[in-house]
Amino acid sequence: MSLKLRIDGKTVDTPAVWWDDAANDVRMINQIKIPFQVEVHSCSTYRDTAKAIKEMIIRGAPSIGAAAAYGLAQAVQEFWNQDAFVEHIKSAYNELMAARPTAVDLKNGLDFVKKYDQLNPKAALNRAKIFANRIANEGLKIGQIGKELIVSNMNVLTHCHTGALALVDNGSALAPLIQAWEEGKRFHVYVDETRPRIQGRMTAWELSQYGVDHTVICDSASGFFMSQGKIDLIILGADRVVRNGDIANKIGTYNLAVLANHHNIPFYTAFPTSTFDSSTRTGNDIIIEYRDANEVKQALGYSNTLMKNQIVSLYAEGEEFSNPAFDITPNNLITGYITPYGILSQSQLEKTFINRTSQ
């Protein structure tokens, strides 16, 4: 179920991020341009890769982790046989690590490459590829396991973007929906817009690739649809899952969890191994990333009159904004955790994941 895209006039089967052996660089679908253009972005140095992560050309915690793993492999290539190799790698590790603060996948990806004893170019690249492939395969498993929650005629709500582009391939929260659809189940997906970055348009676009029936709604309309009995199930991803089962995920997740709880609607999070943070005990220990005010102040869209992408300012000059990119949803609001190891309860979570994340 790899993502099929039209790039430069050809249909290609592509993951979200990959190593191009011929060009010897890191490539990724430029997620800033989705859904208006499908373009491949190339990173020839680890700094390019760190920049792509920071600027959200690549998004979704697991895809970020894979990109970072490739980035560290690039650094090993770049500094191999140079003076102060170890210092350079340390500095590259820190630079990649600082590109986004919330996704633990980023640290897991870097550590997966770094911990390998013989840190040479070939080995490092090999480790990065293993890390990326494992995430993609886990997406498939998450789909197989999670699709059992979907029954025909159901209405499912999702938030942010958790498709193939976010998970190297196959998706996390979208994987159960796409696999259930491909099995012939027929249901409807409500797609939250997910301001400020409007990742809902990527979700809508990916669901369109597979023909899954869906409607986009404003983030603030979720409670209305719940109160009307139009939401039977909520599935979304996670940017970080900590030991007690609290999750950090895209801003708005907590609103949905409280509303779901109020309406007795099952609320599931789906994520691969790399998203589990075995070093953090509870959600209180997660530091929330505040992103640039311009993300709220502005919107990037497509101008039909100019026939190109345009950034417009939505507010008067001089206004101030607060832009927390994530929020924390406590474990008591989460019905279950859809993982490659099954649909887990909060009590099964820690013992299932501990020691798995960096293997």
The catalytic residue positions are 239
Enter the tokens of residue 60: 């979704």
Nearer to a second copy, 313 or 345 (CB): 313
What is the closest distance, in whole angstroms, from the C-beta atom of residue 87 to a second copy in the complex? 39
Taking each helix axis from N to C terminus, what angle separates 61-79 and 104-114, rounded to the nearest 10 degrees? 30
Residue type, 191: V
Of 337, 356, 354, nearest in space to 345 by CA: 337
Binding mask 91-120 for a second copy (x = CB under 8 A): ------------------------------
Residue 304 binds a second copy (CB under 8 A):
yes
Stretch touching a second copy by CB under 8 A, among 10-18, 20-28, 175-183, 322-330: 322-330
Stretch touching a second copy by CB under 8 A, among 18-26, 82-90, 290-298, 336-344: 290-298
**Angle at the Cα of 346 (from 344 to 352), degrees rounded to 5?**
55
DSSP secondary structure, 146-196, as one string: HGGG--TT-EEEE-S--SGGGSSSS-STHHHHHHHHHTT---EEEEE--TT
Nearer to a second copy, 110 or 259 (CB): 259
Stretch touching a second copy by CB under 8 A, among 85-93, 116-124, 127-135, 217-225: 217-225
CA gap 323, 330 in Å, rounded: 21
Nearer to a second copy, 305 or 347 (CB): 305
Residue 205 binds a second copy (CB under 8 A):
yes
Residue type, 203: T
Stretch touching a second copy by CB under 8 A, among 84-92, 98-106, 150-158, 210-218: 210-218
CA gap 159, 326 in Å, rounded: 12
Whether the bond between 272 and the residue before it is cis, its omega within 30 degrees of 0, is no
CA gap 162, 151 in Å, rounded: 20
Q: Are the beta carbons of 229 and 265 closer than 8 angstroms? A: no
Whole-angstrom Cα Rg for the chain: 20
End-to-end CA distance of the chain: 26
Residues between 150 and 179 with contacts to a second copy, criterion CB under 8 A = none
Residue 38 binds a second copy (CB under 8 A):
no
Among 223, 278, 348, 350, binds a second copy (CB under 8 A): 223
Nearer to a second copy, 24 or 301 (CB): 301
CA gap 232, 352 in Å, rounded: 28
State whether residue 278 is helix, strand or coil. Answer: coil
Residue 277 binds a second copy (CB under 8 A):
no
Of 269, 45, 53, 69, nearest in space to 159 by CA: 269
What is the closest distance, in whole angstroms, from the C-beta atom of residue 291 to a second copy in the complex? 11
Binding mask 233-272 for a second copy (x = CB under 8 A): ------------------xx-xx--xx-xx----------
Residue 1 binds a second copy (CB under 8 A):
no
Nearer to a second copy, 149 or 160 (CB): 160
As beta bridge partners, residue 249 has 327
Among 217, 278, 346, 350, binds a second copy (CB under 8 A): 217
Residues near a second copy (CB under 8 A) are: 35-36, 190, 192-196, 198, 201, 204-205, 208, 214-225, 227, 251-252, 254-255, 258-259, 261-262, 288, 296-306, 310-316, 318-324, 327-328
